[in-house]
Amino acid sequence: MELDELRQMSAADLQVKEREAREEVFRLRLKLKTSQLDNSATLRKARRELSRILTVLRQKTPAPTKGNDARSS
């Protein structure tokens, strides 16, 4: 999935995509360990896709603010 497509999705949709991507990475790792995965590059692609989703999701959620900042006094 393209990065622009991910950026257009809502945070809730991205969370669903994240869950699906995590499951896919898990399945591929399991197949790799049991010698059922023909092309190990698919695991790398799935991990990168998960990273892209997580990056966009973190960009969409606001960063937590610090309570007592010494510079604000």
pLDDT per residue over 3-37, tens digit each? 899 999 999 999 999 999 999 999 999 999 999 99
The pair phi, psi for residue 67, each rounded to 5°, is -65, -65
User: Is it the case that residue 58 has pLDDT exceeding 80?
Assistant: yes
pLDDT at position 6 is 92
CA separation, residue 23 to residues 16, 29, 50, 59, 71 (Å): 11, 10, 10, 22, 43
Indicate the average pLDDT of the chain.
Answer: 90
Instruction: Provide the number of structural domains found in the chain.
Output: 1
pLDDT at position 72 is 56
52: in domain:
yes
Cβ atoms 49, 21 nearer than 8 A: yes
Q: Which domain holds residue 25?
A: 3-59
pTM: 0.80
- Average pLDDT for 30-52: 96
pLDDT at position 8 is 94
72: in domain:
no
